[in-house]
Amino acid sequence: MKFTRRDTMAIGGATALTTILPSLSSAAIPVDELVMGVTGGADAASTGISLTAPEIAENGNTVPISVDAPGAVAITVLAAGNPLPGVATFNFGSGSASQSATTRIRLAGTQDVIAVAEMADGSFASVHQTVKVTIGGCGG
Amino acid sequence: MKLKKLITAVVGTIAIPFASIAGEDSQLSIDGQLMVTRVAAPAHMENVDEIFSGWVFRTDETQALQMDDFDNPAFVFIDKAIDTFNKVDGTAGKACVSCHESPEVFKGLRASMPRVNSSGELETIPELVNGCRTERMGAEKWKWSSGSMAGIVGLIGLQSRGMMVDVAIDGPASSMWEKGKELYYTRVGQLNMSCSNCHEDNYGNMIRADHLSMGQINGFPTYRLKNAKLNTIHGRFKGCMKNIRATPYKEGGDEFKALELYVASRSNGLTVETPSVRN
Amino acid sequence: MAKGVKPRVKVPKTAAAGEIVTLKTLISHKMESGQRKDKDGNKIPQSIIHRFTCAFNGNVVIDVKMAAAISTNPYFSFDAVVPEAGEFHFTWYDDDGSIYETKKSVKIA
């Protein structure tokens, strides 16, 4: 088997891809670890909270997200792959009509977005979703 | 042979072909007012049968931002422009409102701009604004793409939202229009590309992870998610030229004015969407 | 005070007693993340709005702790209950010590 220059470049490219991709994703903090950081080590239920985020975000600068956790006193949003994972904590007071909120967030790249709710009884619930962030065509 | 398959597989997963336009059948309704986002191309366009607003090419989430004036972040800049409109500036002690009763008096203007004035010169909204500032208000000119200028141009444009773009291309406008058309189809820059290579030959196709639009300007000034501010028409032309590694023409110069006239005429039949939201 | 900060809020002018209303807020702010560098390669220090609160007649509706991952021109939408006529009070707290406030009153229809 003879390797042309083009083949060699392609192998290099393919190898680089397979080696870079896992290392990129491992740079993000594991979802469980982030959730535990909010709950103080307590387990979080997987029901009772919902997160609405686009599957693919057209621009990482402005990604619309909504969280909803009936009966929660607070909901914390985290972005596992950002330089700093903290995004926001919504604390709901007596004047709130639902324990839900919508905002727009920054995502440095494709990553998991996590929401952790603290319920009135002190228990926790969490949910996470991967949001793909695309690279623009012509930045200008 | 195996190697080739591997390469194809790797490449295949990256370059996902997109043939159709994302929101071709979606309808843009802003606070109950329906916009024309696709319509038969104006007669002067030889290579295109149907024209599409840039809104059509965006994802559902970005599209939604333009459907409600509160969700549309451009309106914070429109609010600021209303303050500017009422604020005295310059040696004559005048504000915009001293001569123009309210922004609403500009209804219809945006839909017909740029246009040739009585002196036979092609004029644009930023030039009208700066004319007022220097001649009537005794104030400093604003830079073409400054925040104040983009805001006021946006506020003036908003008054014509929902009206059909109808830019005159014949009579005294014809020579500038021809010049703009020539610029549109002339390849320039290190990448040797013309406007038409992307926005006529390849709209709807992907450029990396983006859908290429038809390059319509009926929604300008536009709020871009990329830079979170209002972007002007000439500012966008400049950005495109930098992307193809060309030396951009001057904002407000004859080349961009002629190009603005030609590109605006390519959206004749769509509605003014100012201020739109794009990625 | 950061330059050119302007709040926008969407609140219905009237509501029925006990009605649930959706409130929307937007404020113009750069939300400098602290992750960017200037032309000379020096880090631009973080300068954001770090807290947003909304209260109705003194009762907290929502109190948000914000990090640099909130987008430029921060936007929030949430639900409040209007038990009686009164006033919504919106407050944003800037890293530079500035406080931006706006109030909207609601009548009972």
Reported ipTM: 0.93
Query: Measured between beta carbons, which residues in chain A are less than 8 angstroms from residue C20?
Result: 97-98
- Sequence-separated (6 or more) residues with CB below 8 Å from residue B209: A134, A135, A136, A137
Q: Does C22 touch chain B (CB under 8 A)?
A: no
Contact C69 A97 (CB under 8 A): no
Q: Mind telling me how many Å the CA of A34 is from chain C's nearest CA?
A: 15
* pLDDT tens, position by position, B126-172: 999 999 999 999 999 999 999 999 999 999 999 999 999 999 999 99
Average pLDDT over residues C28-54: 92
Q: Please give the share of chain A, as a percent, with pLDDT higher than 70.
A: 77
Q: Which residue of A has its CA nearest to C79?
A: A97
Mutation pick from A59, A66, A102, A131 vs chain B, by most beta carbons of B within 10 Å, is A59
pLDDT > 90? residue B9: no
Q: Using 50, 70 and 90 to split pLDDT, how confident is the model at B208?
A: confident
DSSP 8-state secondary structure symbol assigned to residue A136: P
Nearest to A65 by CA among A28, A100, A111: A100
**Which A positions 68-87 lie with beta carbon below 8 A of chain B?**
none
- Sequence-separated (6 or more) residues with CB below 8 Å from residue C42: none
The structure's pTM equals 0.85
* pLDDT tens, position by position, B17-31: 334 455 567 889 998
- B117-123 LR contacts (CB < 8 Å, sep 24+): B120/B172, B122/B173, B122/B176, B122/B257, B122/B258, B122/B261
Instruction: Count interface pairs A-C at CB distance under 8 A.
Output: 96
Query: Measured between beta carbons, which residues in chain B are less than 8 angstroms from residue A134?
Result: 208-210
Average pLDDT over residues B22-50: 87
Contact A106 C79 (CB under 8 A): no
d(CA B70, CA B86): 22
Question: What count of residues does chain B have?
Answer: 279
Contact C6 B70 (CB under 8 A): no
Contact C35 A83 (CB under 8 A): yes
Q: Using 50, 70 and 90 to split pLDDT, how confident is the model at A137?
A: low
| C-beta neighbour count of C98 within 10 angstroms | 12
Query: Measured between beta carbons, which residues in chain B are less than 8 angstroms from residue A62?
Result: 73, 225, 228
Q: Which residue has the tokens 């060309």?
A: B246
Q: Average pLDDT over chain B, rounded to whole? A: 90
Residue-level pLDDT at B7: 40
Six-digit token pair at A68? 């909803």
pLDDT > 90? residue A58: no
